[in-house]
Structure 1
């Protein structure tokens, strides 16, 4: 993958959006937009950029949401809808008229928001390890995590301004890694420690981290809008996902009632960050999906 860079879009008083794009860009191929999970960066999709068959199938474009990586907003606050708008503006700025949208966890509901906002642009959606609900009692009854209990202590701890020398605490990074990857080796842990501490430094970093945490905890659900998604949907979900359950995915895939096809593929042993834990399974499914619907 190429190094993460930024592109300027007009949303939120002008924004610089962090992205990575496979090279060379082939106008004859479809494009796959990939949106990363909570506090991670475009680096979450390194396995996809390394996959030669996937690279022959589509141009790969990873985009960092507001509050993540190199993305910066002109305004002080933002939601997941804002990232969906900005991602669509990145496509426009790059001259890409249509694309498939894949997203992990929060990236999944951002991808669906993109399809809702621009049905003529988004050709298909591939949610990974995600939920279309808010952090509701219903989702917890179906075996999903208690996101309110997980996030509220961090939100409270990040409420006060900090000095320039502040960096994200490694215990918070480790909590994200445990939920997303499960067990990780020392090299992977060190990489994500360094990446998080580069992205979340000083008071501006504290504020981005807190806003991202609030967005995750307090987001709006999409149940009332899912019947407006008109593109195909391929949802992949791991059986070892501790955040959102297979039972929740089985319920929610049936809510895409106007999609030409909405399928759920359950991945045995798959973790929450499914594109990282089972890249071969995800990549082959995406190749087939794009080949069918491009």
Structure 2
């Protein structure tokens, strides 16, 4: 699986957005947007694209945020709000009026931003292994990682321009894989993501996208003051082996969706941070159930 197409949206001075559909669009089915995690691409959702039951249930539309995969911004800088707006622009460009959104890690808070920006479009959100906070002292007190310490060395190391032959160092890729997939990443999976990252982050433009993505992760705004404005159902799945954002944090934050018709947290025993990759059967079955319940 790789990016099947790109589409132009007017956001940020006209942008090219990378996306992939699991099958030709079927207007009789609901649509599930899939938003990928930090520095990954639509390829994160290979297990979901391979799940026949999920494909029979919904149109699967993976959309790459700014700074990721084939997506390119018309302007030099962007935030997660821009990625949410651009994803909504993709739906508009493809003629899709309503959709559910599933997001892993940063994709989770992009999904919620989409729901906040366009409540008449987003029918429900499925956050996986995520947080609705900024990288706050509160989140660290609840057992979440120190995202500032994780991101700052890379941001500093990527500050200077590089030559055209530069590619993302494998050490940075391995650091992401360790946080996302856990300590037991297979050699095949590691090789795949080394190649994918080194294809997506090359030259000085690639360095800049990687650095901006890292800044966005470290310095993002939190959503606690806005979560009571989410009016769609929420199904949050969180793994017990997630080293980045804790179950305790998820337990606290699910209760902040006070105006959602239903906000449920499901704990996945042994689930890693990239839960859609570590436990695809659990995630896919939950998504099918959620879509069938709430699609209308």
- Cα deviations across residues 67-124 of structure 1 (Å, max 9, x unaligned)? 0000000100000000000000000000000000000000000000000000000000
* Runs of 4+ more than 2 Å apart: 1-4
Q: Is 1:16–1:73's contact at 8 Å kept on the other side of the alignment?
A: yes
Instruction: Note the C-alpha offset of 1:2.
Output: 6.7
* Alignment size in residue pairs: 294
TM-score, structure 1 as length reference: 0.99
Please give the alpha-carbon distance, in whole angstroms, between the structure 1 residues aligned to 2:26 and 2:14. 28
1:173 aligns to what SS in structure 2? helix
Please give the alpha-carbon distance, in whole angstroms, between the structure 1 residues aligned to 2:3 and 2:147. 32
1:141 is matched with: 141
1:107 is matched with: 107
1:273 is matched with: 274
Q: Is 1:2–1:22's contact at 8 Å kept on the other side of the alignment?
A: no
Instruction: Note the C-alpha offset of 1:24.
Output: 2.2
Please give the alpha-carbon distance, in whole angstroms, between the structure 1 residues aligned to 2:243 and 2:2. 31
Please, which moves more after superposition, 215-224 or 2-11? 2-11
1:206 is matched with: 207
Alignment CA distance shift 1:15-1:173 (3 Å): same
1:6 aligns to what SS in structure 2? strand
Q: Is 1:2–1:21's contact at 8 Å kept on the other side of the alignment?
A: no
2:61 aligns to what SS in structure 1? strand
Instruction: Note the C-alpha offset of 1:185.
Output: 1.0
Please give the alpha-carbon distance, in whole angstroms, between the structure 1 residues aligned to 2:176 and 2:212. 16
- Two-structure CA RMSD over aligned residues (Å): 0.7
Q: Is 2:2–2:43's contact at 8 Å kept on the other side of the alignment?
A: no
Please give the alpha-carbon distance, in whole angstroms, between the structure 2 residues aligned to 1:228 and 1:24. 33
1:33 aligns to what SS in structure 2? strand
Is residue 81 from structure 1 mapped to residue 116 from structure 2 by the alignment?
no
1:23 is matched with: 23
TM-score, structure 2 as length reference: 0.98
1:121 is matched with: 121
Please give the alpha-carbon distance, in whole angstroms, between the structure 1 residues aligned to 2:3 and 2:224. 36
1:215 is matched with: 216
Please give the alpha-carbon distance, in whole angstroms, between the structure 2 residues aligned to 1:208 and 1:232. 33
1:132 is matched with: 132
- Cα deviations across residues 236-284 of structure 1 (Å, max 9, x unaligned)? 0000000000000000000000000000000000000000000000000
1:184 is matched with: 185
1:166 aligns to what SS in structure 2? coil
Q: Is 1:104–1:273's contact at 8 Å kept on the other side of the alignment?
A: yes
1:155 aligns to what SS in structure 2? helix
Please give the alpha-carbon distance, in whole angstroms, between the structure 1 residues aligned to 2:157 and 2:244. 22
What 5-or-longer segments of structure 1 have no aligned partner? none
What 5-or-longer segments of structure 2 have no aligned partner? none
